[in-house]
Amino acid sequence: MNSTRLQAFIEQWHQVFEQNDPSLILPLIDDDIEFYSPAIFAPKRGKAEVIELLGIVFEIFEGYRVTDTWTKGNEVMFEFEVQVGQYTLQGIDRFRLDDDGRVVQMKVWIRPLTGLKELARTVSRRGLDSHLAKQGMFAKTLIRAQVRLVSLMRAIEEGFK
């Protein structure tokens, strides 16, 4: 990968947040991207799934600011700070690019743990809301009942600790 493509990617990534336009992410993402995050259990694979998740994250993040950038070969890393609710998070986004400058792998690290937990809760809630919006009434009722049951089971488990 040449340095011109790396620099173009870096500039495009910054434009996404400077222009507050998540649609600018679309041409940066390869169809077969792999996305790893401490906020989700299993990696996300495929452009549609990753774009949906990044769209949710984009809505949650306030004041995303890159504080440092590193490049090596076909990889770019951004150290960043962002506000999620009452928490200021620090993190690293690591991108592996293909020869055309599109992201084929993205890994995210975030701290502190309390902020990561808030991010995971908010992403989960928004993802569930988005999923429910696509379902019929019976499916919505069933999913909500399952969510309540899981919450109740967790509360009971916490009570026995």
C-alpha dihedral, 54 to 22 to 107 to 8, nearest 10°: 160
First vs last C-alpha separation in the chain: 52
pLDDT of residue 66: 95
pTM of the model: 0.75
pLDDT of residue 149: 72
Q: Enumerate residues 6+ apart whose C-beta is below 8 A from 42.
A: none
What is the Cα–Cα distance from 150 to 120, expressed in whole angstroms? 16
pLDDT interval class at 147 (50, 70, 90) = low
In the chain, the largest separation of any two C-alpha atoms, in whole Å, equals: 58
What is the Cα–Cα distance from 70 to 81, expressed in whole angstroms? 16
Per-residue pLDDT of 115-126, as tens digits, reads: 888 888 888 776
pLDDT interval class at 132 (50, 70, 90) = very low
What is the Cα–Cα distance from 60 to 17, expressed in whole angstroms? 13
Write out the two tokens for 105.
Answer: 């792998």
Least confident of 15-19, 100-104, 140-144: 140-144
- What is the pLDDT averaged over residues 28-40? 91
pLDDT of residue 91: 95
pLDDT of residue 103: 96
Q: Mean pLDDT score of the chain, rounded to an integer?
A: 84
What is the Cα–Cα distance from 46 to 51, expressed in whole angstroms? 9
Per-residue pLDDT of 41-79, as tens digits, reads: 788 899 988 888 888 888 888 899 999 999 999 999 999
Domains of the chain: 3-128 (3.10.450.50)
* Range of 93-102, 119-128, 145-154 with top mean pLDDT: 93-102
* Percent of the chain scoring above 70 in pLDDT: 84
Question: 112 preceded by cis ω (within 30°)?
Answer: yes
Nearest to 132 by CA among 141, 145, 119, 121: 141
